Amino acid sequence: MIVGVHPLAGFDKLLHYRVPDHLAPTLAVGSLVRVPVLRTLRLGVVGQIGAPADFPADRLKSVAQVVHPFPALTEELLQLARWMAGYYACPLDGIIETMIPGAVRSGASLKVEKLLGLAGRLDATELAALARRAPQQARLYEFLARQFKPQAKALVLARLGVTAAPVTALVRRGLVTETERRIEREAYRDEFSAEERVASVPPRLNEEQAAAVAAVTSHLSAGRFNVTLLHGVTGSGKTEVYLHAIEAVLKSGGGVIFLVPEVALTPQTVARLRSRLESIAPDHKCVVWHSHLSEGERLDGWLALANGEARVVVGARSAVFAPVKNLRLIVVDEEHEPAYKQDETPRYHGRDVAVYRAKLNAAVCLLGSATPSLESYANTRAGRYSLVELRRRVDARRLPHIDIVDMRVEVARSRGLTTLSRRLADAMRDRLEKREQTILFINRRGYSSSMLCTECGHVEECAHCSIAMTYHRTDETLRCHLCGEHRAAPLTCPKCRSPKIRWRGLGTQRVEEAVRRVLPRARIERMDTDTMGRKNRFREILGQFRAGRIDVLVGTQMIGKGLDFPNVTLVGLVDADISMHIPDFRANERTFQLLVQVAGRAGRGDRAGEVVVQTFTPQAEAIQFSRQADYAAFAEAELKLRHDFKYPPYRHLIQHRFRGPNAEKLKFFCEQWARRVEQHFGARLELRGPSPAPIEKIKDEYRWQIWYFTSSVTKVIGELDRLRGEFPWPNEITQVLDSDPVSLM
């Protein structure tokens, strides 16, 4: 037998090997093997059984080892890997390494323990002879002779301080047997422990929810590929819809992947999910998958899924590669979240990979959000995805009232910059008296280098690209980082002539100080990247907040994810503008999403919620539509704009980033390269740039970029990759291709 193997060795090639007879039975497509490559043994994945008919089999090297008795990747995952390699411009071996956890690749199998037991007897003289000749063997024999039953090998060796060699010798003489025992799986101990599992009686579905479940289950029972977008306003009970769909799949013997944007930030959601899922299928475990797992836990979860002990996994984006058997359903919660995109190689988008994997399995992919990405929404309008809507909150709770505060007026009145408007301060005082809680959000997508007039709210945009221009301190210019247009930065507002043009965001600390001035007696906590770095601190604060020991919580929008605090009746957004003026064609979309999601955090209990949004541009569409949480109207307006400028979702964007220590050289090579690309593609590809990235310099390295617009990513990536290989790049310039980028900074 001959097999083709993809070695994980930093190159993209299928190499052929012979398979020794004794290995053949355990080997299949997707098996992890060790093979000789250039005199070293390398890990590889079997990509193909068999070889071309006239293949010179006699000169082939042999597969040295099969790591697991079952394939580490199913054929379906291998196919997914091939698609990803072509779409995301990443070598196949890099993708495979991303798919298979390190502990699995190293072949460790913590679940099996070796046991040593006595198989034969020595009489006294034989033992004395052995003690003289091989004292270690004698000690081992004597120890085992005193035991009633076989003992764990690792323990015995550690206890006696001997190596494995004497064991081998005794086994060969037939005095000792070595057997394997499967260790009973310990109760899955992880951070989502009992205290967090909310034992909940499932609520009865309302009509809308029931209709949504019926729609999804009909696709499930059809057994065909389908993508359904579940658009449900915040608090409409999307989770119950997911759970019912999952229940249907588990009951019919299928497997499920449930993706959430950030497990570490949504412990409450994950705990709730897990306890519900385990009550649906009590004989199956629910694997939780995230980046903080230890190697052992990861291996445990992976093996449980691969051998069918567990059929459902909840996790962040990499859980999309989980070896779930008979995969019938992939749920992507908060599908609009940029966190689904990996910002290092391979730069895949978890949602899009989920859709593709569902397709390979003829399964259903259920995308859910209160503010769907325009990509997914456009797909429903084009008839590629089904759309299901939940228009009402459960129990007909009202959506909170959104109050827009015009900061231009506040600034004029206070004759300076204010952090908290009087409106917001008054509302906070009111809550403190009523012993209700407040969350203040600070907009961290903040990018401080756009130009905002605090008097009239004007922001300079590029006429060709409809995105905010970026202020460059070095040469005092405003630049469009897309088309490269630039002009001198104005000293006064081009619209109202005011000199108060600023480009500064607010930090959480500054907001916290402002709150202390307004509410000296309140108990205030701040959550930002510093606090979030320490996971326990983060959960501690959330626990205190839930217990009512904190009055005001200040933080970035990340703290709001999936949290459900019934006593929060006021939510403030301190600086709505910032995300609107980042030089990104998705700026409006991000702002709308932020406002709607933030507002959804208020009024989850029995009391009505209130939301105060501070902005210098109250007339902006993203802000006006969010007041009514009118997604359809917002999407309509925004899609039209995207269509006019031919931005995604109407075409795909590929971002080509370049970095180098020397600005002139970098610019020169980017221009040469751009000419080469134009020459090659002609009218087949629209190219914008080269131009400096919005953040032009990071850690002494300059950053430039080119944007390509296309409707066939895989084809263009393939051609670009080939051209790239032939182009004479200096060593100091590094570059990366990013398909469907979400971060444009």
Q: What are phi and psi of 395, to 5 degrees?
A: 55, 25
Can you tell me which residue has the tokens 């006021």?
Answer: 570
Smallest separation, CB 570 to ligand ADP (Å): 19
Smallest separation, CB 600 to ligand ADP (Å): 6
475 Cβ neighbours under 8 A, 6+ residues apart: none
CA distance 564 to 198: 13
Q: Which does 142 bind (CB under 5 to 8 A by kind): Zn ion, ligand ADP, none?
A: none
Strands 65-66 and 32-37 come out as: antiparallel
Q: Is 260 in the site for ligand ADP (CB under 6 A)?
A: no
Q: Is 465 in the site for Zn ion (CB under 5 A)?
A: yes
Q: What are the tokens at 432?
A: 């403190």
Q: Is 205 in the site for ligand ADP (CB under 6 A)?
A: yes
Write out the H or E segment, with its range, that includes residue 249. Answer: helix 238-251
Which lies closer to ligand ADP via its Cβ, residue 237 or residue 692?
A: 237
230 Cβ neighbours under 8 A, 6+ residues apart: 212, 216, 238, 241, 366, 367, 368, 369, 388, 389, 390
Q: Is 483 in the site for Zn ion (CB under 5 A)?
A: yes
Smallest separation, CB 455 to Zn ion (Å): 5
Smallest separation, CB 205 to ligand ADP (Å): 5
CA distance 243 to 54: 54
Which lies closer to ligand ADP via its Cβ, residue 395 or residue 476?
A: 395
Q: Which does 240 bind (CB under 5 to 8 A by kind): ligand ADP, Zn ion, none?
A: ligand ADP
Q: Is 99 in the site for Zn ion (CB under 5 A)?
A: no
Q: What are the tokens at 371?
A: 């503010």
Q: Are 327 and 357 in contact (CB under 8 A)?
A: yes
Q: Which region among 108-116, 197-205, 338-346, 532-540 touches ligand ADP (by CB under 6 A)?
A: 197-205
Q: Are 96 and 11 in contact (CB under 8 A)?
A: no
Which lies closer to ligand ADP via its Cβ, residue 91 or residue 603?
A: 603
CA distance 41 to 7: 10
Q: Which does 456 bind (CB under 5 to 8 A by kind): Zn ion, ligand ADP, none?
A: Zn ion
Q: Is 621 in the site for ligand ADP (CB under 6 A)?
A: no
Smallest separation, CB 219 to ligand ADP (Å): 20
Q: Is 453 in the site for Zn ion (CB under 5 A)?
A: yes
CA distance 465 to 711: 19
Smallest separation, CB 239 to ligand ADP (Å): 3
Residue 226 β-bridge partners? 364
Q: Which region among 309-317, 350-358, 451-459, 622-630 touches Zn ion (by CB under 5 A)?
A: 451-459
Tell me which residues in 561-580 interact with ligand ADP (CB under 6 A).
Answer: 564
Q: Are 107 and 177 in contact (CB under 8 A)?
A: no
Q: Is 462 in the site for Zn ion (CB under 5 A)?
A: yes
Q: Is 456 in the site for Zn ion (CB under 5 A)?
A: yes
729 Cβ neighbours under 8 A, 6+ residues apart: 669, 735
Closest CA to 321 of 34, 103, 87, 79: 79
CA distance 496 to 477: 19
Smallest separation, CB 236 to ligand ADP (Å): 4
CA distance 332 to 352: 10
Q: Are 544 and 551 in contact (CB under 8 A)?
A: no
Closest CA to 363 of 319, 403, 392, 329: 329
Q: Tell me, residue by residue from 220 to 239, as one string, x for binding to ligand ADP by CB under 6 A and - for no binding.
A: ------------x-xxxxxx
Q: Which region among 336-344, 415-423, 473-481, 543-551 touches Zn ion (by CB under 5 A)?
A: 473-481
CA distance 172 to 578: 74
Q: Is 461 in the site for ligand ADP (CB under 6 A)?
A: no
Which lies closer to ligand ADP via its Cβ, residue 240 or residue 610?
A: 240
Which lies closer to Zn ion via its Cβ, residue 273 or residue 480?
A: 480
| Binding residue (CB under 6 A) for ligand ADP from 172, 182, 204, 435 | 204
Q: What are the tokens at 241?
A: 């819809």
Q: Which does 275 bind (CB under 5 to 8 A by kind): ligand ADP, Zn ion, none?
A: none
Question: How far lies 250's CA from each of 128, 187, 237, 265, 681, in Å?
Answer: 62, 21, 21, 27, 49
Q: Is 395 in the site for ligand ADP (CB under 6 A)?
A: yes
Q: Is 210 in the site for ligand ADP (CB under 6 A)?
A: no
Q: Give the total of residues touching ligand ADP (CB under 6 A).
A: 16
Q: Is 498 in the site for Zn ion (CB under 5 A)?
A: yes
Q: Angle CA(353)–CA(239)–CA(99) in degrees, nearest 5?
A: 25
Q: Is 466 in the site for Zn ion (CB under 5 A)?
A: no
- The binding site for ligand ADP (CB under 6 A) comprises 203-206, 209, 232, 234-240, 394-395, 564
- The binding site for Zn ion (CB under 5 A) comprises 453, 455-456, 458, 462, 464-465, 480, 482-483, 485, 493, 495-496, 498
